[in-house]
């Protein structure tokens, strides 16, 4: 038995234990199973499996659509447990996956196939009120039709996914490679045995599919060449349709996310984009989780954190399908460092103020963070070589490198020559913030384009340091520009980096540390230090990066206080 199989079995046993104590309690140990090859509008037949409760009549029904055959045992468990509680549970394999007919092509068929399935389901004698359930790609299969579902569909429970695909794919022109390159390798339609890091580093990346994977994937090439939101790829077709759907949704949606899930940024945009009608009865929940709902914070108490990944959807569907009630609007966020859940009316909350720490440069690789800016101007430089770049450890948007995701113990300040570190004095009083940390830096480079990465950390009294948030930008897409900007080497420019939201309490007597570098690979693709589309570059070059602070260059970090 390999390690992956062991992990799957462990997860399955964990879910069995959660179901064992979940409410509503099991009503019976008996259920029936029905298998159907359901014909879509174009004649392709999709394998559909129905778990039905004991007895006759209409039952509250939950539908899932999946493209992941390795999850079959988990889906079967879910079907058994839901049906024992009086729900009909139906799951279907997306076309071209498992034993469903057709050709597998991600995303494009899911709306029509999902709506065809719902039309069939609403006419089944066993089906009453209908809900839709799914995480990740299984949430996409719900979102992509959420604006057009029949009246029998009363609610959806959609986790770890967002409908703004450009946010999920790019940050200021840099591709989130450990998510989407890894996903392409795992879902190419054939087994890919090429080395992951070698695949990430291949140049030009636009040819990695044929050169290393032995298959041409036009949809992957579209992802990695459409860097700008204004590109037609994002402004038409499926991704444009998906981006616009939340504003047209009328039913309640439970949006479940993790502070260290790679879809968080997109999911928060999706929540904001919900129609007022839908948001009034929807829930947003964000916990200290990764993409698999595992807690990934370290050196912090989590006594008040429990795994509700089974209970929460059961409670949601009991209310919306069985009791036929409209939920009230609710936002639930877990505050890291305080070990508590907070109920809010909206997200992000309006800040009560702002805490600003200014970077102070003393000419060395380690500087200070101060409450006031230095009067004199100083600078510090480092060499960024993409062929010897810092690797990610502790971050938000990684998938294949899951062990590097989360708030993790960090190396000592100044651990590399190409990383500048800045540390505050111990904070006599801790502070609490919720929202987006923002960095304003003044920088220059010898390259025509390059990247700058900021990591914000908390150093506890015992010296242990964990990351809070990180963010990246490029000179070509600095300050939120969608259009590609030009840059003259050695020109000093202001760059602003807005990080993903987080709910955090900094402890009394902790220090804040900030690291500045030019890479967080493979969370983001390596920047070659050349202008143009990243995936078409054929070589890397080395650049000298300079950071400025003090005087008119008041480089700073801003926290939104509660």
What sign results for the dihedral spanned by CA atoms 211, 213, 216, 219? negative
State residue 10's pLDDT score: 86
| pLDDT, tens digit (0-9, with 9 covering 90-100), for 80-107 | 999 999 999 999 999 999 999 999 999 9
State residue 215's pLDDT score: 96
Q: Is the pLDDT of residue 333 over 90?
A: yes
Cα–Cα distance between 518 and 234 in angstroms, integer? Answer: 27
State residue 171's pLDDT score: 96
Mean per-residue pLDDT for 548-552?
A: 96
Q: What are phi and psi of 372, to 5 degrees?
A: -125, 150
Query: Scanning the structure block, which residue is given the tokens 């003259």?
Result: 488
Residue 432 CB partners (closer than 8 Å, separation 6+)? 335, 337, 338, 504, 505, 506, 561, 562
- CATH 3.30.160.100 describes domain 3-159+250-295+301-335: no
426 in helix, strand or coil? Answer: coil
State residue 7's pLDDT score: 76
Interhelix angle 218-225/177-186, nearest 10 degrees: 170
Cα–Cα distance between 69 and 94 in angstroms, integer? Answer: 10
Which DSSP state fits 210?
I
Structure tokens at 112: 């029509």
State residue 536's pLDDT score: 97
Helix (H) or strand (E) holding 336: none
CATH class label, 353-561: mainly beta
| pLDDT, tens digit (0-9, with 9 covering 90-100), for 259-288 | 999 999 999 999 999 999 999 999 999 999
Q: Is the pLDDT of residue 364 over 80?
A: no
Query: Scanning the structure block, which residue is given the tokens 């990591």?
Result: 455
Instruction: Indicate the pTM of the whole model.
Output: 0.95
Q: How far is CA 75 from CA 89, 92, 93, 396, in A?
A: 9, 10, 11, 27
269 in helix, strand or coil? Answer: helix
State residue 3's pLDDT score: 72
Which DSSP state fits 449?
S
DSSP string, 78-110: HHHHHHHTT-EEEEEEPTTSTT--S---TTTTH
- Spans of all domains in the chain: 3-159+250-295+301-335, 167-225, 353-561
The answer to whether 284 and 258 have CB atoms below 8 angstroms apart is no
Mean per-residue pLDDT for 43-72?
A: 96
In 3D space, the residue among 408, 440, 413, 442 whose CA is nearest the CA of residue 512 turns out to be 413
Q: Is the pLDDT of residue 4 over 90?
A: no
Cα–Cα distance between 236 and 239 in angstroms, integer? Answer: 7
| pLDDT, tens digit (0-9, with 9 covering 90-100), for 184-235 | 999 998 999 999 999 999 999 999 999 999 999 999 999 999 999 999 999 9
* Number of other CB atoms surrounding residue 292 within 10 Å: 15
Q: Is the pLDDT of residue 319 over 70?
A: yes
270 in helix, strand or coil? Answer: helix
Q: Is the pLDDT of residue 365 over 80?
A: no
Would you place residue 312 in the very low, low, confident or very high pLDDT band (cuts 50, 70, 90)? very high
Mean per-residue pLDDT for 393-399?
A: 93
* Number of other CB atoms surrounding residue 107 within 10 Å: 18
Would you place residue 11 in the very low, low, confident or very high pLDDT band (cuts 50, 70, 90)? confident
| pLDDT, tens digit (0-9, with 9 covering 90-100), for 447-488 | 999 999 999 999 999 999 999 999 999 999 999 998 999 999
Q: Is the pLDDT of residue 436 over 80?
A: yes
State residue 2's pLDDT score: 74
Cα–Cα distance between 210 and 307 in angstroms, integer? Answer: 42
Q: State the chain's mean pLDDT as an integer.
A: 96
Cβ burial of 461 (10 Å; 0-12, 13-18, 19+) is exposed
The answer to whether 276 and 302 have CB atoms below 8 angstroms apart is no
Mean per-residue pLDDT for 137-157?
A: 98
State residue 1's pLDDT score: 65
Mean per-residue pLDDT for 420-425?
A: 97
150 in helix, strand or coil? Answer: coil
Would you place residue 500 in the very low, low, confident or very high pLDDT band (cuts 50, 70, 90)? very high
Look at strands 88-93 and 45-53 and give their pairing: antiparallel
Q: What are phi and psi of 126, to 5 degrees?
A: -85, -10
């Amino acid at each position: 038995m390999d390690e992956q199989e062991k992990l799957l079995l462990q997860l399955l046993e964990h879910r069995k234990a959660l179901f064992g104590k979940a409410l509503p309690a099991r009503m019976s140990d008996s259920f029936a199973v029905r298998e159907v090859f359901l014909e879509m509008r174009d004649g392709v037949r999709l394998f559909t499996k129905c778990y039905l409760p004991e007895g006759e009549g209409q039952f509250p029904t939950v539908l899932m659509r999946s493209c992941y055959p390795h999850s079959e045992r988990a889906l079967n468990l879910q079907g058994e447990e839901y049906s024992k509680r009086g729900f009909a549970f139906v799951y279907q394999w997306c076309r071209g996956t498992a034993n469903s007919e057709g050709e597998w092509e991600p995303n494009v068929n899911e709306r029509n196939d999902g709506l065809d399935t719902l039309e069939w389901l609403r006419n089944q004698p066993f089906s009453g009120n209908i809900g839709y359930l799914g995480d990740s790609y299984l949430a996409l299969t719900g979102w992509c039709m959420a604006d057009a579902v029949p009246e029998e569909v009363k609610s959806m429970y959609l986790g770890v996914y967002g409908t703004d695909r450009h946010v999920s794919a790019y940050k200021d022109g840099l591709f989130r490679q450990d998510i989407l390159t890894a996903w392409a390798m795992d879902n190419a339609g054939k087994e890919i045995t090429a080395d992951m890091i070698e695949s990430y580093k291949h140049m030009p990346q636009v040819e990695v599919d044929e050169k290393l994977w032995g298959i041409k994937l036009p949809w992957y090439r579209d992802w990695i060449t459409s860097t700008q939101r204004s590109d037609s790829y994002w402004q038409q077709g499926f991704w444009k349709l998906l981006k616009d759907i939340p504003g047209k949704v009328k039913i309640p949606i439970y949006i479940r996310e993790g502070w260290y899930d790679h879809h968080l940024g997109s999911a928060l945009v999706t929540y904001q984009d919900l129609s007022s009608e839908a948001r009034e009865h929807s829930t947003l929940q964000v916990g200290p989780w990764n993409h698999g709902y595992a807690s990934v914070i370290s050196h912090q108490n989590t006594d008040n954190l429990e795994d509700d990944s089974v209970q929460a959807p059961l409670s949601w569907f009991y209310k919306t399908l069985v009791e036929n009630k409209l939920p009230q609007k609710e936002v639930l966020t877990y505050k890291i460092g305080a070990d508590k859940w907070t109920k809010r009316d909206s997200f992000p909350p309006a800040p009560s103020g702002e805490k600003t720490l200014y970077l102070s440069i003393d000419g060395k690789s380690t500087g200070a963070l101060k409450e006031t800016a230095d009067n004199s101007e100083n600078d510090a430089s480092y060499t960024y070589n993409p062929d010897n770049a810092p690797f990610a450890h502790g971050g938000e948007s990684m998938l294949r490198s899951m062990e590097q995701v989360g708030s993790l113990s960090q190396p000592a300040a100044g651990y590399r020559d190409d990383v500048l570190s800045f540390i505050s004095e111990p904070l006599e009083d801790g502070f609490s913030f919720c929202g987006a940390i923002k960095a304003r830096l003044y920088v220059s480079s010898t390259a025509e384009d390059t990247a700058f990465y900021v990591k914000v950390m908390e150093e506890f009294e015992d010296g242990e340091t964990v990351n809070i948030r990180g963010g990246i930008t490029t000179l070509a897409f600095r300050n939120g520009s969608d259009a590609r900007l030009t840059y003259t080497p050695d020109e000093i420019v202001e760059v602003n980096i807005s990080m993903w939201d987080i709910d955090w309490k900094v402890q009394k007597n902790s220090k804040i540390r900030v690291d500045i570098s030019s890479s967080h690979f493979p969370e983001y693709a390596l920047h070659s230090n050349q202008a143009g589309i990243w995936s078409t570059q054929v070589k890397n070059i080395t650049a000298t990066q300079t950071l400025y602070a003090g005087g008119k260059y008041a480089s700073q970090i801003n926290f939104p206080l509660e």
